[in-house]
Every structure is written in structure tokens, then in C-alpha cells.
Structure 1
Amino acid sequence: MEDPNPCISCGICCTHFRISFYWAEADDAPGGFVPAGMTEKLNHTMRCMKGSNEVPRRCSALSGKVGEQVACTIYENRPTPCREFPVYFEDGSPNPKCDELRATIGLPPLPRSPLPNAPLPQAA
């Protein structure tokens, strides 16, 4: 049976985007949750995940081999951009950006979600 979350065999988004977010999401701010040691300062209001602000990019929280088996080592404490990047849209259609990035590493396009309007996986 195919895993319902295609992110665990992909991870390309974690090597493509600069993952920037409001500084107070880091755990050295009151109420923050992203491990500050895995971030770097961009300016007085923004941080990014280490490894995502340089080329080649690879988020410091990504483990495993992209395109085969990956995991986010801080999944429960990942920043907002990672939480909000949709693999599938509400109508069950795949995010075209995912398909575009997957193609760069030889992965097939995502199928339509079998469960439209169900909770959908977010990027790893």
C-alpha cells in the first residue's frame, strides 16, 4: 500500500526554498517552538532554517536521502512555512510546485488525493 504522505519519499522542498519565518517562532523567544540552534538571523524580524539560506540548499532539520526516504527531525516544531506549504489543495488536486520540484529529481507527479476535503499532508 502506498504511504498517504508522499513527503517521506521526496523532501525536495526542503532543499529548494529558503525557509524564512518571523523570529519569535524560535524557542529562544517566549512561546517560540522552532529550535533556535537550527536557525540563523536574516534581519531584526526574520530568521531562516540553517542550510536553507545558501546554495546548494538543504534545511538543517532534514534527514535522509532526498527522493528516497526523508524525515524532518523537528516535525512537531517546524516553522510556519513548512506547516503551510500544501502538498494537496482542498479539492484534492496536487500542488503544481510539488510536481515541478519532484520532476527535477526524477519522481513522478503526485496523484489526485483519494480523499478530497480530508485532512491533507503538509510538507515534511
Structure 2
Amino acid sequence: MTETIHPCLSCGACCQNYRVEFSIYELQSMGGSVPDALTHDVPGNGNRARMNGTERYPVRCAALRELPEVGEGCIGCGIYEQRSSPCRDFPFASYGCHDTRTKLNLPALAEQEVTPWLQAA
């Protein structure tokens, strides 16, 4: 595979479309990896946390940021290695990915953008 940047690093669409809710046991204060400061408790449910910015419309996860250390124009998760299970489980190039890109007026991913990354996984 050539040294190209993953399509997700020029997108951020999923971080601007979905409510990200997960068990409080994924929080750093509970032994997990997700920074508490980027989350809040889910009202009426003492065992769930939610990423800040995903509880309202328009959605924009608090962890989504520019990533100049990766490359010019790159955007993505500022806590990628610490992200929650819903983010870890969101499939690249899935129906949800393509549907979200459409909602945000982004072009569909072309097969040549997707195939090398799926083969490398």
C-alpha cells in the first residue's frame, strides 16, 4: 500500500452524526481509557456515560479535532487510542459510514479508497 492517509482522517463524519454512549466502566476514573473530562453522565441512568457534544444537534463529539501532527487538513479523534467501545466498533466504509457522509454532503468513498485499507486490516 502506498503512503496515503486513511480516508477517515479527512472526514470526521461519524463524529458529527452519532450519540456516543457507553458504560461508565470505560471512563479513566473507573479503570478504563476514556478521559472523564470529555464526557457527562447520561441523565436518569447511573451506569452510562456520553461523549460531550453528542447529546445535541448538530452533533460534534468533543474529541474531534484537527490533527496537524498527522498531516495538513487531517481531522479525527483526539483520543483515538483511548476512544470508547462504540467508536472502536464503528465499521469503516459501512452503510453507517456512507449514510453519514451523504448526510454531511461528503462524496461517497470510492472503491480504490476503501479496498487497500480493508485488505490491510
Q: How far, CA to CA, are the matches of 1:117 and 1:76 in structure 2?
A: 20
Q: Which amino acid aligns with 2:62?
A: S
Q: How far, CA to CA, are the matches of 1:70 and 1:4 in structure 2?
A: 11
CA displacement at 1:2 relative to structure 2: 7.7
Identity of aligned residues (%): 35
Q: Which runs of 5+ in 2 are unaligned?
A: 68-72
* Offset from partner CA, 1:11-66 (integer Å, 9 cap, x none): 0110110100001100001x21100111100121110101111112111100139x
CA RMSD of superposed structures (Å)? 2.3
Aligned ranges 1:59-78 → 2 under 5 Å: 59-64=61-66, 69-78=74-83
CA displacement at 1:107 relative to structure 2: 2.1
Q: Which runs of 5+ in 1 are unaligned?
A: 88-93
Aligned length: 111
- Distance change (3 Å), C-alpha of 1:119 and 1:61: same
What TM-score comes out, normalization by structure 2 length?
Answer: 0.79
CA displacement at 1:84 relative to structure 2: 0.5
Q: Which amino acid aligns with 2:32?
A: G
Q: Which amino acid aligns with 1:72?
A: C
What TM-score comes out, normalization by structure 1 length?
Answer: 0.78
CA displacement at 1:3 relative to structure 2: 3.1
Tell me if 1:52 matches 2:51.
no
* Offset from partner CA, 1:84-110 (integer Å, 9 cap, x none): 0011xxxxxx31221121123332212
Q: How far, CA to CA, are the matches of 1:102 and 1:4 in structure 2?
A: 18
- Distance change (3 Å), C-alpha of 1:54 and 1:7: same
Q: Which amino acid aligns with 2:54?
A: S
SS across alignment from 1:45: strand
SS across alignment from 1:58: coil
| Higher helix fraction (1 or 2) | 2
